[in-house]
Structure 1
Amino acid sequence: MTEQADLHLEIAGAMAEVAASLQAPMELEETLTVITRVAAETIPGIVEASISITTKEGRIETLAPTGPRVTRADHLQYELGEGPCLDAALEEPVVAVNDLANDPRWPDFGPKAAALGFGSQVAFQFRAAPHVRGALNLYAQEPDSIDQDSIHLGSMFAGQIAVAMGWARQDRTLTEALATRNTIGQAVGIVMERYQLDSDRAFSFLTRLSQTSNTKLNVIAAALVEQANEASKHQQ
């Protein structure tokens, strides 16, 4: 088996672990801790992860950090009023930096983050009902560690955070949550068959369709499943 195939298997297993945590009746804090831990362990180059969440009072707090170093890096951004996680939580969908020490966008935070041992960082904005906004923060030890694979995988973990927080905030029942996951699973299967894609690419197809159309993933999944069911009825 090739190194790339091994990596795909590892990531698939990691995503399965996170998906299982979303199905089980876990506390929100425990679920978020699973997501950040698995993201840091499986995304190539990433060594630490955390979640920045905005509060009703206008403050930003860190949730589920993988270690004290990443907590310090987050808090530096809050104290200085600059940094990738702030920009992602408040403004930009994705903020990536491959040379923290020298990036002119954050002249105060960058060198301090480098002094903590971080060379690169990427942050992903997420939104969860009702009116919850924040960012998944991924830190790499070396400069130039953020590539398209990092961004693609990180966005999937950010989506899982939004799902987890959305379920918790809306107080959905486990049955409703599982029904949503089952619908998305069916939609992935439909896309795999229709376009001859593997499961990762099929899920990526759905998430990109969701982002470009500004439509929730579960709404797109439900529409695809309904369309497939209607087509099946006409063929009978």
Structure 2
Amino acid sequence: MNDPFTSPTPRNTATTSTGDDALRHRLHASVAASPDLLAYLDSLTSTAVEALSSPGQEVFCGVTLIRARKATTVASSSDRARRMDEVQYKFGDGPCLTAAQEEREIYISDIEDLAATSKYRAAMEDHGVHSVLATPILLPATSYSALNLYSTEPQAFTAAARRLARTFATHASGPLKLALTVADLADTGADLQAAMESRRTVDTAVGFIMSQNNCTRDQAIATLRQTASTRRITLRDLAESIVTKATNATDVTDRHLS
């Protein structure tokens, strides 16, 4: 997409004050209260809507999270916000993706300022959205995130509103880093558990082959690997098949003997 997005702020900057303490505490507390990363992101969008909406001026909020070797994660404050975000993912480009990946604020004060031929403009107009603000949430290494704000009114995000969005994004950065660390540890634990289960399955299959063929462990492993290669399936899948068949055969034998 070649639309001329404006970006008055190259990086996310904000000053803190005593009045921000409650928001900072709430964002940190929601990490502990959320069962997983997506739940935390959902909580983040809800808090953003409360903090950034004003009387007579409701905003719709989404959060984009991009991690290396992980699917892009999206959380939305409402179905309407979700549909707005989906427009960008459909095109593979847009304010929130640019803000996240380039770590700079993107503000479209009026959708009508975009080229008349812009597909993004047409899609936003179809949904009744007239202004978009995407503010990066800075993260370390290969993770990127952005707060995506939409309004049905043009010129909806004043300079003060954009400062508030940057402050919110700054406060959200630390808790989101913590939530990512917790999620990565959970993923590592799940991967280790899966690896252990796979190892146990292969060991059981090797034992069945040794018993059936009266061979050594090394010979059984070699047979298992050769068969998996010939059939073009993974070692674990073949092992599971062997264990299942052997277990079923044992069950039949036991029933006949009982």
TM-score exceeds 0.5: yes
Unaligned residue ranges in structure 1 (runs of 5+): 1-9, 173-236
Question: Is the Cα contact below 8 Å between 2:103 and 2:138 reproduced in 1?
Answer: no
Give CA deviations for 1:65-108 in whole Å, capped at 9, x if unaligned: 01112112111111113321121012241001111233239921
Residue type of the alignment partner of 1:78: Y
Alignment of 1:166 with 2:177, yes or no, is: yes
CA distance in 2: counterparts of 1:90 and 1:38, whole angstroms:
23
Instruction: Please show how residues 200-211 of structure 1 align to structure 2 within 5 Å.
Output: none
Alignment of 1:29 with 2:41, yes or no, is: no
Task: Name which of 131, 136, 148 aligns with 1:125.
Answer: 136
Question: Is the Cα contact below 8 Å between 1:46 and 1:138 reproduced in 2?
Answer: no
Give CA deviations for 1:1-24 in whole Å, capped at 9, x if unaligned: xxxxxxxxx9886565435424x4
Map of 2:65 onto structure 1: 53
CA distance in 2: counterparts of 1:162 and 1:46, whole angstroms:
23
Question: Is the Cα contact below 8 Å between 1:60 and 1:78 reproduced in 2?
Answer: no
Relative to structure 2, which stretch is displaced further, 157-166 or 108-117? 157-166
Asked which structure has the greater RCO (Cα within 8 Å, sep 6+), the reply is: 2
C-alpha displacement at 1:156, in angstroms? 2.2
C-alpha displacement at 1:142, in angstroms? 0.6
Q: 1:18 to 1:171 in 2, by over 3 A?
A: closer
CA distance in 1: counterparts of 2:99 and 2:116, whole angstroms:
13
Normalising by structure 1, we get a TM-score of 0.58
What is the DSSP-based 3-state SS (H/G/I as helix, E as strand, rest coil) of the residue aligned with 1:88? helix
Q: 1:30 to 1:17 in 2, by over 3 A?
A: same
Give CA deviations for 1:5-58 in whole Å, capped at 9, x if unaligned: xxxxx9886565435424x45333333222211211231334211111223248
C-alpha displacement at 1:169, in angstroms? 2.8
Question: Is the Cα contact below 8 Å between 1:85 and 1:135 reproduced in 2?
Answer: yes
Question: Is the Cα contact below 8 Å between 2:28 and 2:175 reproduced in 1?
Answer: no
C-alpha displacement at 1:145, in angstroms? 0.4
Q: 1:68 to 1:171 in 2, by over 3 A?
A: closer
Residue type of the alignment partner of 2:76: P
Residue type of the alignment partner of 1:49: C
Map of 2:51 onto structure 1: 42
Q: 1:134 to 1:97 in 2, by over 3 A?
A: same
Number of equivalenced pairs: 163
Larger Rg: 1 or 2? 2
What is the DSSP-based 3-state SS (H/G/I as helix, E as strand, rest coil) of the residue aligned with 2:133? strand
Instruction: Please show how residues 1-236 of structure 1 align to structure 2 within 5 Å.
Output: 17-22=26-31, 24-27=32-35, 28-43=37-52, 44=54, 45-57=57-69, 60-62=72-74, 64-104=75-115, 107-171=118-182
What is the DSSP-based 3-state SS (H/G/I as helix, E as strand, rest coil) of the residue aligned with 1:137? strand
What is the DSSP-based 3-state SS (H/G/I as helix, E as strand, rest coil) of the residue aligned with 1:123? strand
Normalising by structure 2, we get a TM-score of 0.54
Give CA deviations for 1:144-183 in whole Å, capped at 9, x if unaligned: 10112221111122223321221123349xxxxxxxxxxx
Residue type of the alignment partner of 2:30: S
Map of 1:202 onto structure 2: none
CA distance in 2: counterparts of 1:21 and 1:106, whole angstroms:
42
